[in-house]
Structure 1
Amino acid sequence: MTVGGYYDITTPVAAGQFALDHAGIGPDSRTSKAYPAGHSVFEDEQQLARLADDMRTWVTTLGK
């Protein structure tokens, strides 16, 4: 699972997705989430709650 903030100028979400695509890890083989936040998504309480929910959901899908 990869996560990122829309407003992250250090490691943009699209750059990570581009790198994974070119490494042969396509969208069907990964989970990517983006949040209306900067580099540290977890610093905003609302986005931290969304991230935690998304991580819980992702963990339940592992191995299926």
Structure 2
Amino acid sequence: MAAALVQGASWALIGARLGVPDPCAARSGCTCSDLQWQDAIVDHENARAHRIHDPLPGPGPTAP
């Protein structure tokens, strides 16, 4: 992310590249602030990390 910011990318562009839904999409004509995009990116990445590290459903490994 730091590299993208150094290259001049906006928080909205970074969010779009990460697949973050527009946090202001529900409000027509609204322009999101950088802080709204930052919060949306953090929420999106935290949810993604949680999905990656969740154990698989079903019985877990059994100890010998």
TM-score, normalised by the number of residues in structure 2: 0.31
- Larger Rg computed on CA atoms: 2
Larger relative contact order (CA 8 Å, sep ≥ 6): 1
